[in-house]
Chains A and B, each alone.
Chain A
Amino acid sequence: MRLIGSTLLAAAGLAAFLGFWEALPRLGLINPAFLPPPSTIPAAFLKELSLGVWPEAVASSLSHYVVGLSAGAGMGIGLGLLSGMFRPFEAATAWIVRLLRPIPGLAWVPFAIIWFGVQPSAAVFIIAIGVFWIVFFATQGAVRGVDRDLVEVAQAFGFRSPWARLTKILLPAATPGILVGVRTALGQAWMAVVAAEIFGVPGVGARMMQASSLLSTDIVVVYMLTMAALYGLFDSAFVALQGWLLRWRA
């Protein structure tokens, strides 16, 4: 009953929001070219679909997203584990980290274009950098936070190599913290996708820029909602995966 009530309320809220949005351009309060009413969006979507532009843009963005996220998160987890496990590694990299960490992902765009050209690899590079630090720090912190007592259990049973420590204790014990970082990265990576593609690498972001230069704001909105939907999809899938991986927790 409570659930139904809150679902109704949420639906009502959304309807009110859409109504308000519809009213603004319809009542002439805002130029419809600047803010398309939501009722025009489905038609714009169908047109993009029939032209085959939408599937193509989404497929190429998704491939940037998946490859960039995997590369950035993979590197972040790998180096985060090293840095969390080995003090000398952390000490040796401390100042490098301090130097590079504050540089925003977008500041790498010039180099991305110089090194890779306006190519998918440039987008992948920017996305990877965008998520790397989040995952790196989450992993390092999670490994550092693993209870020493659990590491002793492994030692007491004769597992003393760093590899055994990693696979038997540190990695499983740090998984909850690492996953929190990866989930944040999931959202961060979408931002990086748009940013990377705005510079011309084909994909959702590039298509949005094209549309906006033609003042086809309805198409811009189509892709904004597309991204919201894709992000929602990935996040839900990830939450399900996380729940399964962490099913051992109370």
Chain B
Amino acid sequence: MAEIVDTAPVIDIEGLSLAYERGGTRNVILSNLDLAVPRGEFLVIVGESGVGKSTLLRVLIGLAEPSGGSVRLSTRPGCRTPMGLVFQDSRLLGWRKVVDNVAFGLEGSGLSKAERRAKAAEMLAFVGLADLGGRWPHQLSGGQRQRVSLARALAVDPDVLLMDEPFSALDTFTREGLQDELQRVQAETGKTVIFVTHDIDEAVTLADRVIVLAGKPGRIAAELKIDAPRPRRRRDPALTEAARYLRSELSRRSAEL
């Protein structure tokens, strides 16, 4: 018996536009954007500050209303939280212990408190913080906070993991550690990831595909598939080459404006 393979993209964006109205003027941020994300892809979005990368993620998770176009999600039926979001500033809830921060998204899922905690503890162990569940968020380092934030997003078992510059506030050493960690997490869970960053090296290290958002209003200006083997080695010539290409695209796009 043939297994039914779901080949539909998990996210299918067509003709998406978004504008903010302010004082009678219309500020168009995204216009006529098409983007399909296959299940299991690690997609990285790069682009200049203010081009609308965060806005795109906010649309996907329902924090912003598009003004036109369509976003089709082919997520698992009955999934309560198809998207998990990791913010740039971890945004942990300071009044909850670390384990209860991770359990946050599970509330209202029908699990008992003990089950939620158990699941949260499991996720914490998964991101390498098994011992820190009993701490308050202010007792964590920046890198630990981002791991907790990742565990919180993963705990709800989303179809798609959205990450908005999650490592940008961290030092290089911690950042690279977390990049490796994220690759492992993605390999083990097979989650679709949409990852926003300013850092080209980070982009090529992580991505199956990089898209460059540019222009005003923002649109997809360039796209690059990266099929270097995983786990990625940072000195891989294919990655260096990809990074060079992306840098030239980015500077060309900004020179055009």
Contacts and interface: CB of A to CB of B under 8 A. Distances in A.
A248 B105 contact: no
A175 B91 contact: no
A247 B136 CA distance: 9
Contact of A156 (B63, B80, B95, B97): B63
Interface string B75-94: 00000110101010101011
B107 interface: yes
Contacts of B104: 153, 157, 168
Most chain B CB atoms below 10 A, which of A158, A159, A169, A172: A158
Contact of B93 (A158, A164, A172, A249): A172
B116 to A, nearest CB: 13
A250 B105 contact: no
A134 B89 CA distance: 34
A156 B85 contact: yes
Contact of B87 (A153, A159, A172): A153
A158 B80 contact: yes
Contact of A248 (B61, B63, B108, B136): B136
B233 interface: no
Given A158-B81, A248-B138, A150 B93 contact: yes
A153 B80 CA distance: 15
Contacts of A164: 108
B62 interface: yes
Nearest to A159: B108
Given A173-B95, A248-B95, A249-B138, A157 B87 contact: no
Given A168-B107, A248-B136, A153 B91 contact: yes
B156 interface: yes
Nearest to B94: A248
A247 B95 CA distance: 8
Interface residues of A, number: 19
A152 B83 CA distance: 14
Interface residues of B, number: 23
Contact of B63 (A155, A159, A168, A175): A155
B89 A149 contact: yes
Contacts of B62: 155-156
Nearest to B97: A248
Nearest to B80: A158
Of A153, A156, A158, A247, chain B has the most CB atoms within 10 Å of the CB of A156
* Chain A interface SS verdict (over half): helix
A182 B105 CA distance: 31
A168 B91 CA distance: 14
A76 B70 CA distance: 45
B93 A169 contact: yes
Contacts of B108: 158-159, 164
Interface string A235-249: 000000000000111
Contacts of A153: 87, 91, 93, 104
A150 B80 contact: no
A150 B105 contact: no
Contacts of B80: 158
Given A158-B81, A248-B136, A248-B138, A152 B63 contact: yes
Contacts of A158: 80-81, 105, 108
Contacts of A250: 138
A43 B93 CA distance: 55
A173 B95 CA distance: 8
A249 B87 contact: no
A249 B81 CA distance: 30
Contacts of A168: 104, 107
Contacts of A155: 62-63
Given A149-B89, A249-B138, A250-B138, A157 B156 contact: yes
A186 B83 CA distance: 46
A157 B93 CA distance: 13
Interface of B: 61-63, 80-81, 83, 85, 87, 89, 91, 93-97, 104-105, 107-108, 136-138, 156
**Closest 3 A-B residue pairs measured CB to CB?**
A157-B105, A250-B138, A172-B95
19 contacts: A149-B87, A149-B89, A149-B91, A156-B62, A156-B83, A157-B81, A158-B81, A158-B108, A159-B108, A169-B93, A172-B96, A175-B95, A248-B94, A248-B95, A248-B97, A248-B136, A248-B138, A249-B94, A250-B138
Interface of A: 149-150, 152-153, 155-159, 164, 168-169, 172-173, 175, 247-250
